Structure 1
Amino acid sequence: MNSEFKVCVNCVMDTTDSRITFDSRGVCDHCNTFYSNIKPNWHPDEKGWIEILRISEKIKAAGAGKDFDCIIGMSGGIDSSYLTYLAKEKLGLRPLVFHVDAGWNSQIAVNNIEKIVDKLGLDLYTEVIDWEEMKDIQLAFFKSGVSHIDSPQDHAFFATMYKFAEKHKVRYILTGGNYSTECVRNPLEWMYYQSDSRQLRDIHRQFGTRPLKNYPVTNILWHKIILPYVKGIKLVRPLDFMPYQKEQATQFLVDNYGYQRYAQKHFESRFTKFYESYWLPKKFGYDTRKVQYSSLILTGQMTRAEALEKLKTPAYDEEQIVHEFEYVATKLGISVGELQGYMTAPNKTYRDYRNQQGIYEVGAKFMRMLGLEKGGKR
């Protein structure tokens, strides 16, 4: 654990990541991992474009004669929205747009999804998560005191999409994940693995009040081994194979599809907006903008000076946060006082509950040895 506060001289990651390390120049391990491991093996250029075109032909062949040849998980955020345009208009694919409604969609997100899907002439499939069960497991995470209270929502997104792909024998899932805006990973203590079903079940067992009959559950072995190597379902990240600049992509969608901007990445969900802008920094001291801005700095989309200036201002609107606090409490069926009680309760970490961290670490090491995963620790 670092005893004194220190900020990387190259990006804006700092010792609020307790596992961060610095070299003799003051450059952090997040930056060094990017320069030594990610950048040399990442080809968002002509070489990458040729490769994604090759992959696209395989997708088309696998989906020949079917209503769609792949599925795209779409949240309404910039990455998945631009990916949907790219898949249809540039790669010539026939994706089914797949959306999971966990009860927290912002109206802007709903509008963005509808506009892009309609203008591209694509089909939209929406899976609605059982709200009573969703609410129960989210409250369980609040009661547990851990920092990663958004895990139930993320877990439901992935689990639902994987199950749909398996049921309908879809060979390819396209995701908006990318190095351009996400080459720096959230530290594990900030956001623990959302796919850890052991942790999810343990927290719900201790603090939940109703059985999870309809809530979708997946696990790391299922989507890292069973799906790709047994079921033959591949996850593809097309944005990694071409130049992808967040601001340019956003403006393109604004100009051509009537896309509405969000104040920050992941703010298409009202819960995630509340969690990342207010709950996480206020209760735990973790500001996810440091991860997001550092990624943009490393990929040449933001200067360090710009990032430091932005970080001087809270991510939440101080005039609106009272209303957001009330909205979240009301939506969860609790009083503002109860929600405030969870805010002031002792902080816990993922280590305080059963988890599969050992499996993740062994798996990540093995995947890096085979060249199937880039990047370092979270």
Structure 2
Amino acid sequence: MNGNIKVCSKCIYDERVASINFDEYGVCNYCHQLEKLKEEYGTGQNRGDLKFNKIVEQIKKAGRGKKYDCIIGVSGGTDSSYMLFLAKQWGLRPLAVHYDNTWNTAIATENIRKVLTSLDIDLYTHVVDNKESDDIFRAFFYADVAEIEASTDLALAEVMYRAAWKHKVKYVLEGHSFITEGITPVGRNYFDGKYIKSIHKMFGILPIKSYPLMTFYRFLFWSMFAQIKKVRPFWYIDYNKEDAREFLEKEYEWRYYGGHHLENRMTAFYHSIYLPQKFNTDMRNNTLSALVRNGKLSREDAWKEYVKPPLIEKDLENYFQKRLDITKEEYKRIMNKEPKSWYEYPTYKKRFEFLRPIFKVLAKANLVPMSFYLKYCFPIKKEIK
């Protein structure tokens, strides 16, 4: 470990992580947060299974007489692909939903096709206009903020809500696991509809037409009026990502894409080039810390892996420049500029904090993700190192 940096005694989160603090034993607040979630959800325990079994019965009951009883967002990655298999095992009738930001790798596209075909699951896809999507990405790049991928994450959430509303489905299943991924601190990982709209208004060129923007009032509509529930099965049940990947490869000829979040080329650029090089931020610590907490990797080995340069896809930097029509000189100029943070632009963050009591109730009822409540509804330190 680096003697100059304070590192959690239980994982490898260090003092550079946003809003981190350590107890008298050197354990960080994020490790404590995850322990509380494990206790609350009964993760990987019999009571967690019982809780989730009740939810499955509720999904089936709400879906009677309908073609589908749940929505599952798919990316071609491990978690969402395995979730499709599990849903069928549970006797559910899922509709797979995909937001295509036009930066998918061929591997991800083939993974989606193979799994859906084998499981006989229908696919609902929203394909954004590629020039419009690229204009939003370019706007974030010129705004000097880290969240260049924010528009994709929010769009998938909106598209899943739209699909659920169209087919009168009341449940959305998400493949997130705080056990295998942790809950990413809101440091350089913030997004909401106002943030995206304001950045695009300042730095974008094309009008937003095909991009599915989730505004604050649409968010409230989906969660409070439509009452579409967001459920994360991996928060309740025992889930092993490595075993899931092995199963997918064997059963569906599914292919691994080389690393966490690398199934999309914009996401790969964000994680392997943009964050590390411009913002000195490396989100591999989320997955590596999770492996340490789960006893699958020692802190020493995780730290050794963390300090290695991230894997960078060949010609990815050139592909980014060409797609967004940015010259090498302009790219270098922007990458060397002083970084800015999300709180320097208009967002809904203060509104989320003000309505924290309401969002707490909604999170308890699975009407908004609990991770949203924990990350977005509390004030945070603004000084991001």
TM-score between both structures, scaled by the size of structure 1: 0.90
| Number of aligned positions between the proteins | 366
Greater alpha carbon shift after TM alignment, 291-300 vs 240-249? 291-300
Please state whether the residue corresponding to 1:125 is helix, strand or coil: strand
- Among 239, 258, 271, which residue is 1:263 paired with? 258
- Among 317, 322, 330, which residue is 1:330 paired with? 322
The equivalent of 1:349 in structure 2 is: 341
Letter in 2 for 1:138: F
Distance 1:260 1:271, change over 3 A: same
The equivalent of 1:272 in structure 2 is: 267
For 1:266 and 1:81, the matched residues in 2 are separated by: 13
Please state whether the residue corresponding to 2:68 is helix, strand or coil: coil
Residues 140-289 of structure 1: pairs in structure 2 closer than 5 A: 140-183=139-182, 185-192=183-190, 194=191, 196-220=192-216, 222-223=218-219, 225-289=220-284
For 1:61 and 1:307, the matched residues in 2 are separated by: 44
Specify every segment of 5 or more residues in structure 1 that has no aligned partner in the other structure, as ranges.
Answer: none
The equivalent of 2:90 in structure 1 is: 91
CA RMSD in angstroms comes to 2.1
- Equivalent pair of 2:124/2:163 in contact (CA under 8 Å): no
Distance 1:371 1:236, change over 3 A: closer
Greater alpha carbon shift after TM alignment, 362-371 vs 112-121? 362-371
The equivalent of 1:70 in structure 2 is: 70
For residue 217 of structure 1, report the CA deviation from its aligned partner. Answer: 0.8
For 1:160 and 1:229, the matched residues in 2 are separated by: 17
- Equivalent pair of 1:129/1:215 in contact (CA under 8 Å): yes
For residue 300 of structure 1, report the CA deviation from its aligned partner. Answer: 3.4
Please state whether the residue corresponding to 2:99 is helix, strand or coil: strand
- Equivalent pair of 1:278/1:316 in contact (CA under 8 Å): no
Specify every segment of 5 or more residues in structure 2 that has no aligned partner in the other structure, as ranges.
Answer: 365-369, 377-385
Letter in 2 for 1:191: N
The equivalent of 2:52 in structure 1 is: 52
For 2:175 and 2:129, the matched residues in 1 are separated by: 25
For residue 45 of structure 1, report the CA deviation from its aligned partner. Answer: 2.4
In the TM superposition, what whole-angstrom CA distance separates every residue of 1:113-137 from its partner, at most 9, and x where no partner exists?
1111111111122211111211111
For 1:253 and 1:371, the matched residues in 2 are separated by: 31
In the TM superposition, what whole-angstrom CA distance separates every residue of 1:231-253 from its partner, at most 9, and x where no partner exists?
12111111222100111111111
For 2:185 and 2:141, the matched residues in 1 are separated by: 20
Distance 1:186 1:228, change over 3 A: same
Distance 1:49 1:39, change over 3 A: closer
Please state whether the residue corresponding to 1:310 is helix, strand or coil: helix
Please state whether the residue corresponding to 1:190 is helix, strand or coil: coil
Residues 6-25 of structure 1: pairs in structure 2 closer than 5 A: 6-25=6-25
- Equivalent pair of 1:146/1:348 in contact (CA under 8 Å): yes
- Among 314, 339, 344, which residue is 2:331 paired with? 339
Please state whether the residue corresponding to 1:338 is helix, strand or coil: helix
The equivalent of 1:39 in structure 2 is: 38
In the TM superposition, what whole-angstrom CA distance separates every residue of 1:69-121 from its partner, at most 9, and x where no partner exists?
21111011111111110001x21111111111111101111111111111111
In the TM superposition, what whole-angstrom CA distance separates every residue of 1:119-176 from its partner, at most 9, and x where no partner exists?
1111122211111211111110000000111111212211222122223322111111
For residue 204 of structure 1, report the CA deviation from its aligned partner. Answer: 0.8
Percent same amino acid among aligned pairs?
36
Letter in 2 for 1:214: S
For 1:369 and 1:122, the matched residues in 2 are separated by: 33
Greater alpha carbon shift after TM alignment, 144-153 vs 257-266? 257-266
The equivalent of 2:309 in structure 1 is: 314
